[in-house]
Structure 1
Amino acid sequence: MPRAQLDVQRQGLNKWEMHKALLNGLSNKTDCSSFRIPETKLGTPGNLADMLRNHQTVFIKPVNAWGGSGITRVDVDTSHPVLYRWHKQGDKQVLHIDSVGKVIERFLSSYTAQPVIVQAGAPLATLDERPFDIRVLMQRNDEEDWVYSGAVGRVGGAGSVVSNIALSRGHVMDLKELCHELNCKQKVQQTLSENLQETGYAIAKIVEQYRDFFDIGIDVGLSSNKSLWLIEVNTDDALGGPSHELFAQLPNRDLYDEIQNRHRATRNRRGQALLRELF
């Protein structure tokens, strides 16, 4: 896998370049001790057709979008005759398509002006038939080391393709509350917490090779046996960064205040360092 390329103007990695960075960092393996990565390819008609032959669910994601916008979920119904359900985020209507060729036609007409990736749907659990994931936030501390700032559950709205809160009108959940809803035993909760932290540090170590990021938001889903599947990695860039406001929606705002204070301290410290270099 070629080395990932940083978008110089945006000062970040788009979805495809991030995937390349992660695979390179993991020596081209799609799993490590704490998480797995779904099969992901560039969005071409041939790659989409291959993915639909090999997976029951495939996601189409614009590489330069964020917040869940523009994502389409394609489900394969293997009953006879084979049927494909096309559900684009934000559309109320789910299209039923009767051939791969017609899916490709829809794909070409829907994504003509933007590069995309096609990604296999991981075997993720749902909560009350709604998609959910866990957002892990990594930040720099006063010594410029990475710290695990915390994690929060995100539950998508009814009928949503994604778990993004703003886009799907979903809600956040404290991690303990989420584990309770999923009937996790204490030992499972402890293992999950350890795996979330291990995942955060592993990914931070990989992406810092491409730029001196200071905020990393990592979205992971849970399978039925509580193993982690990586969904997306977001970093600070010229357009913004991972949302801190998710943590503001928790009943206790102490964690949010810590995150904000750490963020401001890092920005001030780096701003002062830049001024010293200039003057």
Structure 2
Amino acid sequence: MSNVIGILLDRKTYLGILRKQTGYEHIDYYNQAAVELGMTPFYMCLKHMTMKSALGLSYENNKYTLKRLPIPKVIHNRAMTLSAVSLKKLKDIAKISQVFNGQNRHDKLLIHRMLRASANSSAFLPPAMRYTSDNLGKAMNRYESFFVKPTNSSVGKGVLKVSVIGNLLWQVWWGKQPPRQLDEQQAIAFIDEKVNGQSYLIQKTIPLAMYKGRPYDLRVSVQRGAKGLWGVTGIAGKVAANGRHVTNLARGGEAVICEKLFYSNGFDPLVKRAQVEEAALQIAESLGQQIPSLSDVGMDIGIDHHGEIWLIEVNGRDQRYQYKHLKLNKTFYRTYETPMLYAKYLLSK
């Protein structure tokens, strides 16, 4: 079974394969890419794995077969392992298999510190610091606007935006609620209540370029491919909903072709896309040197009014569905094909 590639999924996604209910995961694209590359995809979840074997679904001859196989030599991790037990099990499996993207939920502040230490990437970072009462006070003295966001969440959950509106008044956005106008002490109390002792960071607001009066950023899919090298597989724009402060599609944002956004701001679409790709590759290479298993990420990258490029955050499990929204079907397929190319490269080594 030297051509078997393990694909590790969340249990719910794994159990949904035969019912074709796999959420954001387009399993058929993994199958198509693997077959074209002469490989056999073997779908697994941690619950049904031991240190020697796994019970999973093998895709061969256009059908799935439930099998118990030895742990594959190469595993592409798409499962979200958040509990201590699942993390330990995945780390143990990684001792006997090449698991790429093993840890796929990364602390935002840790990523910031890693990139801050890199000469190639530090220029793309907006100022950020860990949330504490003292640091909140510093941010309110230094910045006209900033975000307070969880260090370990995704799709814009739990994010607050804080902006000064004069005379010691602050506007605070939280969730779907209308913004609140609070004095300084009220704002501090409200933010502290929402943070509630959890791990948060404070990040200076990037004055994002706008599209039809709404801020936008970019989701950039950066993946290792056939030769183990980083490449940009696709870029999609994400425009915030009216009155919202986050651009995530899961929070009402709209997917828009990136060139359309660039053109609307007077940026040369070809030049700006090339600049974004170069920045994303520099960031990925910097992080890859410090997190060796990193291989498949979705970066949120912002462009300010002047065309400067900023990293907002790095997502270790890119959901990729923005390309489906935009009917960029070839790009959507390549985001599944590229990890399979990387898996084949690892097998050949």
Which interval holds the TM-score relative to the shorter structure?
A: 0.7 to 0.9
**Secondary structure of 2:203's partner?**
strand
Alpha-carbon distance in structure 1 between the residues aligned to 2:175 and 2:301: 19
Alpha-carbon distance in structure 1 between the residues aligned to 2:328 and 2:205: 33
2:330 is the counterpart of 1:251: no
Alpha-carbon distance in structure 2 between the residues aligned to 1:165 and 1:182: 21
Alpha-carbon distance in structure 2 between the residues aligned to 1:142 and 1:268: 7
Aligned partner of 1:195 in structure 2 is 275
Q: Which of 85, 94, 112 is equivalent to 1:19?
A: 112
2:235 is the counterpart of 1:154: no
Q: Which amino acid aligns with 1:21?
A: M
Q: Which amino acid aligns with 2:139?
A: M
Q: Once superposed, what is the RMSD of the aligned Cα atoms?
A: 2.2
**Number of residue pairs matched by the alignment:** 249
Alpha-carbon distance in structure 2 between the residues aligned to 1:71 and 1:160: 11
Aligned partner of 1:122 in structure 2 is 206
Aligned partner of 1:228 in structure 2 is 309
Q: Which of 145, 152, 165 is equivalent to 2:249?
A: 165
Deviation (angstroms), 1:82: 2.1
Alpha-carbon distance in structure 1 between the residues aligned to 2:213 and 2:168: 24
Give the fraction of aligned pairs with identical amino acids, expressed as a percent.
22
Alpha-carbon distance in structure 1 between the residues aligned to 2:149 and 2:254: 22
Deviations 1:41-98 (A, max 9, x none): 10011111111111111100010111111000011012xx2210111133x2321111
Superposed, 1:45-194 pairs within 5 Å as: 45-78=133-166, 81-90=167-176, 92-99=177-184, 101-167=185-251, 169-184=252-267, 188-194=268-274
Structure 2, unmatched stretches of 5+, are 1-81, 88-101
Bigger Rg, which one: 2
Deviations 1:74-127 (A, max 9, x none): 11012xx2210111133x23211112x222211221111411001111222222
Q: Which amino acid aligns with 2:287?
A: V
Alpha-carbon distance in structure 2 between the residues aligned to 1:228 and 1:82: 31
Is this contact kept in 2: 1:244–1:260, CA < 8 A? no
Task: Give the structure-1-normalised TM-score.
Answer: 0.82
Deviation (angstroms), 1:191: 2.5
Aligned partner of 1:260 in structure 2 is 336
Deviation (angstroms), 1:269: 6.0
Is this contact kept in 1: 2:208–2:217, CA < 8 A? no
Alpha-carbon distance in structure 2 between the residues aligned to 1:118 and 1:77: 19
Aligned partner of 1:43 in structure 2 is 131
Deviations 1:190-236 (A, max 9, x none): 3312211211111111111223112121111111121112111112x
Structure 1, unmatched stretches of 5+, are 1-6, 236-240
Deviation (angstroms), 1:30: 4.1
**Secondary structure of 1:131's partner?**
strand
Is this contact kept in 1: 2:147–2:160, CA < 8 A? yes
Alpha-carbon distance in structure 2 between the residues aligned to 1:227 and 1:83: 29
Deviation (angstroms), 1:13: 2.3
Would the alpha carbon gap of residues 265 and 232 (structure 1) be closer, same or farther in structure 2, given more than 3 Å must change? same
Would the alpha carbon gap of residues 226 and 214 (structure 1) be closer, same or farther in structure 2, given more than 3 Å must change? same
Is this contact kept in 1: 2:320–2:332, CA < 8 A? yes
Task: Give the structure-2-normalised TM-score.
Answer: 0.66
Aligned partner of 2:34 in structure 1 is none
Is this contact kept in 2: 1:75–1:84, CA < 8 A? yes
Q: Which amino acid aligns with 1:105?
A: A
Is this contact kept in 2: 1:89–1:162, CA < 8 A? no
